[in-house]
Amino acid sequence: AQSVAQPEDQVNVAEGNPLTVKCTYSVSGNPYLFWYVQYPNRGLQFLLKYITGDNLVKGSYGFEAEFNKSQTSFHLKKPSALVSDSALYFCAVSPLDSSASKIIFGSGTRLSIRP
Amino acid sequence: DGGITQSPKYLFRKEGQNVTLSCEQNLNHDAMYWYRQDPGQGLRLIYYSQIVNDFQKGDIAEGYSVSREKKESFPLTVTSAQKNPTAFYLCASKLAGGTQPYNEQFFGPGTRLTVL
């Protein structure tokens, strides 16, 4: 079965430190991978995506993500965290088969940045 | 929130009542989606539509119904058959559905439904 896993429910980081939010996937073929962010009582906002090419993808708000095919991972990273980065982060994958319209979301990771 | 509007923002329903949540997009997107989000949890797909007059059940379609009569509109009805409807409902759209799986989704601001 195709799936996305975010193994950490919560990640706590001090402001100014680097942050990593983990994501692993299990899909057939080469997937398209996405990261979204959700602030309280709001919809999700798109951060970045991997389609093909360079394994390091840069996105909004200084975030980047590294695609690792051998480890089937797509971890979200930022070199220096801000308090305003505190939010709920979702990893998602779009399969390449006939169910391509059904995007698969991870369970989410709550990122908390302390001042 | 990217050209997608949802109304109302908050909705209260008595048990046994049907309610309809509105979702409108002006992005000219082909595909539209409805998700349910419970506190502290991820997104669960209720229904999705790739083109007008066509829609498919998602993972938790029981107790819900949709229509797609216009490209820009995808209303969701929560029926009395849905036993635990209190949740945050999110609508999303995507350009060209399954034929362009590399496109990201755009989300509306959500509707919070509470059953009294």
Find, among B28, B25, B31, B34, the residue nearest to B52 by Cα: B31
Are the Cβ atoms of B45 and A102 closer than 8 angstroms?
yes
pLDDT of residue A99: 54
pLDDT value of position A98? 52
Chain A residues whose CB is inside 8 A of the B88 CB are 41
Over residues B29-52, the pLDDT tens digits come to 999 999 999 987 789 999 999 999
Q: Tens-digit pLDDT profile for chain B (116 aa)?
A: 459 999 999 999 998 899 999 999 999 999 999 999 998 778 999 999 999 999 999 999 999 999 999 999 999 999 988 889 999 999 999 987 667 778 889 999 999 999 98
Say which of B42, B50, B58 has its CB closest to residue A108. Answer: B42
Q: Which amino acid is at B44?
A: R
Digit-coded pLDDT (tens) for A17-75: 999 999 999 987 778 999 999 998 899 999 999 998 889 999 999 999 999 999 999 99
For chain B, list the strands marked E by DSSP. Answer: 4-7, 10-13, 19-25, 31-37, 43-51, 54-57, 64-66, 76-78, 87-94, 106-107, 111-115
Q: How many CA atoms lie within 13 A of B110 on its CB side?
A: 18
The pLDDT score that the predictor gives to residue A94 is 85
For B16, counting Cβ atoms within 10 Å of its Cβ (0-12 exposed, 13-18 middle, 19+ buried), the class is exposed
* B16 to chain A, closest Cα gap in Å: 26
Asked if B43's CB is within 8 angstroms of A101's CB, the reply is no
The CA distance from B3 to B26, in Å, is: 6
pLDDT at B98: 64
Chain B CB contacts of A102 under 8 Å are 45, 48, 58
Contact, B48 vs B64, CB < 8 A?
Answer: no
Residue A12 has pLDDT above 70, yes or no: yes
Q: How far is CA B64 from CA A3, A65, B73, B79, B108, in A?
A: 24, 36, 16, 6, 19
Please list every residue in chain A whose beta carbon sits closer than 8 Å to the beta carbon of residue B39. Answer: none
